[in-house]
Amino acid sequence: MAEYSGLTKTSSALPRLSSKRTYSLMRAEAPSESVPYYSYCLRLRRLVLIFVNPLYFMRYRNWLAQDDTLSELLELINRQLTEKGLKVEKASAAVVDATIIQTAGSKQRQAIEVDEEGQISGQTTPSKDKDARWIKKNGLYKLGYKQHTRTDAEGYTEKLHITPANAHECKHLPPLLEGLPKGTTVYADKGYDSAENRQHLKEHQLQDGIMRKACRNRPLTETQTKRNRYLSKTRYVVEQSFGTLHRKFRYARAAYFGLIKVSAQSHLKAMCLNLLKAANRLSAPASA
């Protein structure tokens, strides 16, 4: 067994290299009189080509994606950032939202018809991604997944999970709130507004920061409208994180097919995003 900071995996699941071959390649001594420079470079190049083989990384990624290892790695990175003073240990707020990640398949060129749940109801080209689903967003139909995310008040991603794109946000709030300390204010848009979610917050002693949505024949009161306007000013941090994911990390579209692999990619992107935020904080000039 190989254990690292509470993360446990069986080493037998990892792809293996021939021990004799690896040993012979590792003997690439530094250039010297007995080892010409070109010979050293050749051995080093062969070694690099083996260990950066795409197949090796693909198997390793799939191995990590088998269970909650990537979620634990995300928590571990956040814990280390907290220990270094780059992340608030117990933030007073949690911000929840979701973003669409389009499937890795080619863009849909044919007109489609979908029902209210986002399922295809008309003839269209079948997708190679069997887990992806259709959704209408800003007047456009998109095939892919929905990333449900919780960040702290600074925008650090703390928890996420992936569903098909047609999954409604309202039903996926409780899993995102696991581990939150009592008294934390949970900010979310009106897509998460439901009696069940408000009751969940009350039972777990969490403060309600969910925006209210109008119902049929029951518009929002002036007080509710002002409250929504106030709450919307706090939610920008998660939208800012999504914007960075889409632009800087080019994650508007997944690189893989399937729910498990897309979830793995989302967790890896979240780790990179948090590390980038920490690096930016380190490089920021100290306040006078």
Q: Are residues 52 and 116 in the same domain?
A: no
Q: Are residues 42 and 101 in the same domain?
A: no
Q: Considering only CA atoms, which of 213, 234, 1 is closest in space to residue 96?
A: 234
Alpha carbon separation from 208 to 91, 192, 205, 218, 227 (Å, rounded): 15, 11, 9, 21, 11
Three-state DSSP state, 155: coil
Q: Are residues 32 and 148 in the same domain?
A: no
pTM of the predicted protein model: 0.76
Domain boundary among 11, 42, 58: 58
Q: Residue 64 phi/psi, 5° resolution?
A: -65, -30
Residue 204 within a domain: yes
Residue 7 DSSP class: E
Q: Are residues 53 and 95 in the same domain?
A: no
Spell out the per-residue pLDDT of the chain, length 288, in tens. 444 444 545 444 554 544 444 445 445 454 455 556 667 677 777 776 666 777 777 787 788 888 888 999 999 999 999 998 888 877 789 999 999 999 997 655 545 555 555 555 544 555 688 899 988 888 888 899 999 999 999 999 999 999 999 999 999 999 999 999 999 999 999 999 999 999 999 999 999 999 999 888 889 999 999 999 999 888 889 999 999 999 999 999 999 999 999 999 999 999 999 999 999 988 876 554
Contact 119, 166 (CB under 8 A): yes
Q: Are residues 28 and 95 in the same domain?
A: no
- Residues ≥6 apart with Cβ < 8 Å to 18: none
Q: Are residues 266 and 137 in the same domain?
A: yes
Residue 80 CA to residue 218 CA, distance in Å, equals 48
Q: Are residues 127 and 186 in the same domain?
A: yes
Question: Which tokens sit at 168?
Answer: 């409604």
Question: Which tokens sit at 11?
Answer: 């080493």
- Number of domains forming the structure of the chain: 2
Residue 192 CA to residue 198 CA, distance in Å, equals 9
Cα 47–Cα 63–Cα 158 angle in degrees, nearest 5: 110
Q: Are residues 139 and 252 in the same domain?
A: yes
Residue 186 CA to residue 176 CA, distance in Å, equals 10
Residue 114 within a domain: yes
Residue 65 within a domain: no
Q: Are residues 7 and 134 in the same domain?
A: no
Q: How far apart are the first and last CA of the chain?
A: 50
Question: Which tokens sit at 52?
Answer: 């950066």
Domain of 42 in residue numbering reads as: 2-58
Residue 211 within a domain: yes
Q: Are residues 110 and 223 in the same domain?
A: yes
Which pLDDT does position 203 carry in this prediction? 96
Residue 193 within a domain: yes
Contact 180, 92 (CB under 8 A): no
Which pLDDT does position 36 carry in this prediction? 66
Helix (H) or strand (E) holding 163: strand 157-164
Q: Are residues 123 and 260 in the same domain?
A: yes
Q: Are residues 172 and 224 in the same domain?
A: yes
